[in-house]
Structure 1
């Protein structure tokens, strides 16, 4: 894990997905939030630079030796997998299993920070025990290899209507996921910290407001 990533992680205790989405809205004009995700352990926060695995509908005429999960995974993470987030597109089939505990044990073995899948995953009980965070579209029991296949590593992918480019930073918690461009990640995190401070101040003002004056209209807009 790089010193830059360690420094960014130090700011995460002060923010969450909501403040990061608000911060992205102040810094950028494109959509960055992904919702309706589930996890075998929703208490785990995920953060790290993205590597991508693009899934496509399965074809039986393509050579499996070039397209198996292991091959595409190692192409994606390269020589420095630690701290990365593996982002897997759905191939148009978000309700199909894209991997399970056995295949994804590679992420644990190589100290990957997490997996964000725009499809379902199997073996939630196993995934909960690994050393990475898992966020996906739901749990599956049926094998999905006859429907989708990993096809390419480290290309831009679409996840829940959001463009993810390799190197983007991905944050996920129980509120959802946020995709942050690498070039502005520190600025966005700093803005999110300010937003959290603003919200805390606003909550203090609300606690001190006078319901009687508000009902009567005596309290001015600047006071509310």
Structure 2
């Protein structure tokens, strides 16, 4: 298992998100990419199989706050494994609402997750940047979001920015955006992404050599 993780990390180190999206386009027809993401540490790459927490519009009667807490749902999400996973937070139609912040997401660091992909905003970018994990979301927020959405269920298929994410699917994100890859095909996709990257590099090299302005 560790050998597979190391191999995947090595393959991923050679590519960027657009390469993986192109590779997915050659093998799958469905939408797989997320645009317009921001990060407190944009130089970091996020890679790992997904765990999910899905949010639902807050309602004290239907979703009592003492039961539907981030702490409890996070514990449920990681009970079968946390190391190297990506926590995907699905806002379900609330892209401008905070889905978490530095205090709650400190649990991500404590459990050794690779990072967070949020279909909404996050708080406390300065604090989040002090952790080792990678974070990508739709923006920063100064306001708590618990009056709008509540953590509702874990490790179910979710939709983030129009992209299906099933528990176990692989999330890859960098400064260019993010892509979701079905787990059974992850090595095949990243190997193809490597070929895409090499083709692009060769093309750019050929253009440089043909440039009459070059000395």
Q: TM-score, normalised by structure 1?
A: 0.91
Aligned to 2:56: 56
Aligned to 1:41: 41
C-alpha change, 1:80 and 1:29, in structure 2 (3 Å) is: same
Aligned to 1:134: 135
Q: How does 1:192-211 map to 2 (within 5 A)?
A: 192-209=193-210
Query: Please, which runs of 5 or more residues in structure 2 have no aligned partner?
Result: none
Deviations 1:66-85 (A, max 9, x none): 31101111111223201000
Aligned to 1:214: none
Aligned to 1:7: 7
Structure in which a larger fraction of residues adopt helix = 1
Q: How does 1:97-112 map to 2 (within 5 A)?
A: 97-112=98-113
Separation in structure 2 between the aligned mates of residue 162 and residue 190 of structure 1, nearest angstrom: 22
Question: What is the Cα deviation at residue 208 of structure 1?
Answer: 2.8
Q: How does 1:77-156 map to 2 (within 5 A)?
A: 77-156=78-157
Secondary structure at the residue paired with 2:13?
Answer: helix
Aligned to 1:31: 31
Aligned to 2:164: 163
Aligned to 2:175: 174
Deviations 1:7-40 (A, max 9, x none): 2011122101010000000111111000000000
Contact 1:67 1:150 in 2 (8 A): yes
Separation in structure 2 between the aligned mates of residue 90 and residue 131 of structure 1, nearest angstrom: 24
Secondary structure at the residue paired with 2:210?
Answer: coil
Contact 1:96 1:140 in 2 (8 A): yes
Question: What is the Cα deviation at residue 107 of structure 1?
Answer: 0.3
Contact 1:58 1:149 in 2 (8 A): yes
> How many residues in Structure 1 have an aligned counterpart in Structure 2?
212
Separation in structure 1 between the aligned mates of residue 75 and residue 159 of structure 2, nearest angstrom: 21
Contact 1:57 1:92 in 2 (8 A): no
Separation in structure 1 between the aligned mates of residue 75 and residue 141 of structure 2, nearest angstrom: 24
Separation in structure 2 between the aligned mates of residue 210 and residue 82 of structure 1, nearest angstrom: 48
Question: What is the Cα deviation at residue 3 of structure 1?
Answer: 3.0
Structure 1 runs of 4+ aligned residues shifted over 4 Å read none
C-alpha RMSD of matched pairs (Å): 1.5
Contact 2:119 2:137 in 1 (8 A): yes
